[in-house]
Structure 1
Amino acid sequence: MTVTTVVTGLGITAPNGLGTEDYWKATLAGQSGIGPVTRFDAGQYPAGLAGEVPGFVAEEHIPSRLMPQTDHMTRLALTAADWALKDAGLDTSEVPEYGMGVVTSASGGAVEFGQRELQNLWSKGKEHVSAYQSFAWFYAVNTGQISIRHKMRGPSGVLLTEQAGGIDAIGHARRHVRKGFPVVVSGGVDAGICPWGWVPQLASGLMSTEDDPARAYLPFSADANGYVPGEGGAILIAEDLESARRRSAERVYGAIAGYAATLDPAPGTGRPPGLAKAARLALADAGLAPEDIDVVFADASGVPDRDRAEAEAITEIFGPGAVPVTAPKTMTGRLLAGGAALDAATALLALRDGVIPPTTGVDTLAPGLRIDLVTGEPREARLTNALVLARGHGGFNAALVVRRHA
């Protein structure tokens, strides 16, 4: 018997909304969370805009005993996981501990925590370095803290494929559910808005240095000039459909119908990028043809040549202007390891409500791009299947198909 993996709970911490419904309301209204950096003084750097999660008071969500041992990133992740489990109506005490797993995505770990402790080491000495530095900065810390907090002893892991990681984590969660584990907490939450997290992104040469929040991140636009980083992401509860039915789950957002990942070829080989292949493989995994997809949530790099490559891949698969394409991340920035998970959650909300959120700020497509980009206002539509695309720094590509639950 084929196991159907469904999403029964969502927890979102995003720059334009703290909590799933606040985020969704803001996204449909076209409200951006991008603005000047406040988490550190970015005045000495060429880029000074970011998407920061608003109104998050960690002490209101995190037990006091965890505060000294957690970074801002992990506090956001723990909060999103709590919300996702509550949204799923899942009482973890009623599920065997070894039947629940955790798979999340990461990029560089909890860099804000790590930077602070290294500064203490250099300026004050080793006696002033927290003992929690041994693990609090580690890239697997979100997975570890979520699993400990909720006594989840099943298969767990972390995927380090940068922006593609959220989709990869969801794909691996589905794999565990298919193997017989009824519940897997998945997705990704990231936060690296500090000098240690900022400088490596600047060094990539892909960040926007525009100082107007409305003009800084314009994927597929004739005025595209790079991306704006952000923090946050989404945690999803992946569950065996039959298991969800047995416990009378409060809601099912949709099914994880197809997943695939590829790597780009080495530079200079002349071989094409792997994004189109990942999309085709995900469609095949879902048993769907291109015409079955009702909307594409784009990776939307914001870098002109990468935007063009993605638009060409979408056109190659679906035909010119044949499927609506959207990039609501224009309101949050690119969230590193949290970005694709947030896109997947957004796609599920779009399927639920029959509406495609807009790509904000983009007035005119770059010359030669032949995609139907949803801009301005949300677009109501009959939505059954959505394709989510993501690319991570270093050549990672991932594609996810989610299907509306009947």
Structure 2
Amino acid sequence: MSTGTDTVVTGMGVLAPTGLGHDAHWENTLRGASAIGPVTRFDAGPYPSRLAGEIADFVAEEHLPSRLLPQTDHMTRMALVASDWALADAGVEAGQMPEYGVGVVTAASAGGFEFGHRELQNLWDRGPEYVSAYQSFAWFYAVNTGQISIRHGLRGPAGAMVTEQAGGLDALGQARRQLRGGQPMVLAGAVDGSPCPWGWVARLSSSRMSRESDPARAYRPFDTDAAGYVPGEGGALLVLESDEAARTRGARHRYGRIAGYAATFDPPPGSGRPTNLARAARAALDEAELTPGEVDVVFADAAGTPEEDAAEADALRCLFGSRGVPVTAPKTMTGRLSAGGPAVDVATALMSLRAGVIPPTVHVSRPLPDHTLDLVTTPRRVPLATALILARGQGGFNSALVVTGPG
């Protein structure tokens, strides 16, 4: 394994349907507690898909000053709280770091859709004078990066990734590049979701959402009866530091290391050429100076449609052989959180390495034999040192990230 891997994770802020905070999320994930259920944030009755992974107990007013509420979307409020928790977990206080010492890189699939939907409704029903001036930025896909930077006075390098589901890994990959260029610390990851009619219609247009009404049957990746995914909301932000900076600062946590990252793009639809997901995974392992045989668990993208599941299973078989590595998809408890999902997977993988337990894939009762996957459907206690996380974004984006223990 590479001794030059220099990116360590020193803080985590997780908001997921499975729990607020990484400890609550991990506890519920480990016991297989699914948070998928009927949509409550709006009336989903007129739509063919009516299930989601919602965060039930998040009250923004309990965490944020009132002045921020009129100018932020629900997604951004969650991202701000995740940033608070991640920095606090890392022991970083506002003003403690050098002026340009902390950067911010986030990812989002769309931006503040709920805010935009409400203001469009005001425009339609009441007229332009009732549209909030904050609409000019609250909808924007880069708004989380901006609001987090302002809230904490973080003036280091900033960025926003827009590669749909893959963005949760791409943001971490971009942050890692900043660290390798000399930046001592970057807050990175993704919090995403669009629980409103406007966002819902956009998702339905892909024809990938499950129309099953039973929460236990709606999202079953790699299952014989797989028929789509369930969306969700939430994500995770991580504090990344160079190993040297973390040691100098006396960081109190070292959850693990980001050892490798790579991204690829798929050929055009209809070209007859296969997905490049396996190439992304192999490149990430090569950068980490690891062989496939050294990977202890894969956190799968788990698209939930037969075609995409088969493509991922083929990529895993190409890399590891039939049943060559344990594979899990804890996102079956939360739904797919767009860019936020892979960021949660990274946090979950780090906790999995620390605990020596692979969390389960729930609701999958009949894994398709043709996939030849060692799919983990109940918690599995095994020695763990290395995890591979995979993510694919609609439009052909593939990303892979390797994490190892703190060493």
Distance 1:62 1:267 in 2: 44
CA–CA distance in 1 between the matches of 2:304 and 2:270?
23
Kept in 2, the 8 Å contact 1:16–1:54? The answer is: no
State the shift of 1:3 in Å.
Answer: 6.2
Query: Aligned letter for 2:14?
Result: I
- 8 Å contact kept, 2:5–2:259: no
Task: Report matched runs for 1:3-402 at 5 Å.
Answer: 4-375=6-377, 377-402=378-403
Pairwise CA RMSD of aligned residues? Answer: 1.0
Q: Is the 8 A contact 2:5 2:288 kept in 1?
A: no
How far did 1:89 drift?
Answer: 1.1
For the Cα contact (< 8 Å) 2:5–2:258, is it kept in 1?
no
Aligned-partner Cα distance in 2 for 1:129–1:105: 26
Distance 2:105 2:241 in 1: 13
Could you tell me which amino acid in structure 2 is paired with residue 110 of structure 1?
Answer: G
Could you tell me how far apart the structure 1 residues matched to 2:99 and 2:312 are?
A: 42
For 1:80 and 1:205, how far apart are their aligned partners in 2?
Answer: 31
Instruction: Give the distance between the partners of 1:77 and 1:353, measured in 2 at CA.
Output: 26
More moved, 365-374 vs 327-336: 365-374
Deviation digits for residues 41-70 of structure 1 (CA, Å, limit 9, x no counterpart): 000000000000121010011111101100
Alignment partners' CA distance in 1, 2:290 and 2:167: 23
User: Contact 2:6–2:243 (CA<8 Å) still a contact in 1?
Assistant: yes
CA distance in 2, matches of 1:3, 1:359: 30
Q: Is the contact between residue 10 and residue 239 of structure 2 (CA under 8 Å) also seen in structure 1?
A: yes
- Runs of 4+ with deviation above 6 angstroms: none
How does the TM-score come out when normalised to structure 1?
0.98
Q: For 2:176, what is the secondary structure of its paired residue?
A: helix
SS at match of 2:323: coil
* Counterpart secondary structure, 1:315: helix
More displaced 10-residue stretch of structure 1: 19-28 or 261-270 = 261-270
Aligned to 1:181, the other structure's residue is in SS state coil
Structure 1, gaps ≥5 residues long: none
Shift of residue 92, structure 1, vs aligned partner: 3.6
How far does residue 269 in structure 1 lie from its aligned partner after superposition? 2.1
Give 2:250's aligned amino acid: S
Deviations 1:217-241 (A, max 9, x none): 0000001110000000100111111
Query: Does the 8 Å contact 2:350/2:405 carry over to 1?
Result: yes
Q: State the SS of the aligned residue for 1:83.
A: helix
Q: Secondary structure at the match of 2:371?
A: coil
Percent identity of paired positions between Structure 1 and Structure 2: 64
| 2:369 match: secondary structure | coil
Write the distance in 2 (CA, Å) between the matches of 1:120 and 1:264: 40
Q: Which amino acid aligns with 1:237?
A: V
Per the TM alignment, residue 343 of structure 1 is displaced from its structure 2 partner at its CA by: 0.7
CA–CA distance in structure 1, aligned partners of residues 263 and 190 of structure 2: 17
How many Å separate the matches in 1 of 2:38 and 2:271?
40
- Taking structure 2 as the reference length, the TM-score comes to 0.98
1:96 Cα deviation from its structure 2 partner:
1.1
Deviations 1:275-330 (A, max 9, x none): 00000000001010000100000000000110011011101100111110000000
| CA deviation after TM superposition for structure 1 residue 401, in Å | 0.2
Letter in 2 for 1:204: S
For the 8 Å contact 2:15–2:235, the answer to whether it is kept is yes
Give, as a single letter, the amino acid of the residue that structure 2 aligns with 1:89: G
Structure 1 residue 247 displacement after superposition: 1.4
Counterparts of 2:67 and 2:182 in 1: how far apart (Å)? 34
**Are the counterparts in 1 of residues 5 and 257 from structure 2 also a CA contact under 8 Å?**
no
AA partner of residue 18 (structure 2): N
- Aligned residues of 1:325 and 1:374 also touching (Cα < 8 A): yes
Deviation at 1:367, TM superposition (A): 3.4
Q: Which amino acid aligns with 1:299?
A: D
Cα offset, 1:262, TM superposition: 0.4
The one-letter amino acid of 1:66's match is L
Q: Deviations over 1:243-275 (max 9, x none)?
A: 111111111011110000000001222221010
Residue in 2 aligned with 1:405? Answer: 406
Counterpart residue identity of residue 28, structure 2? A
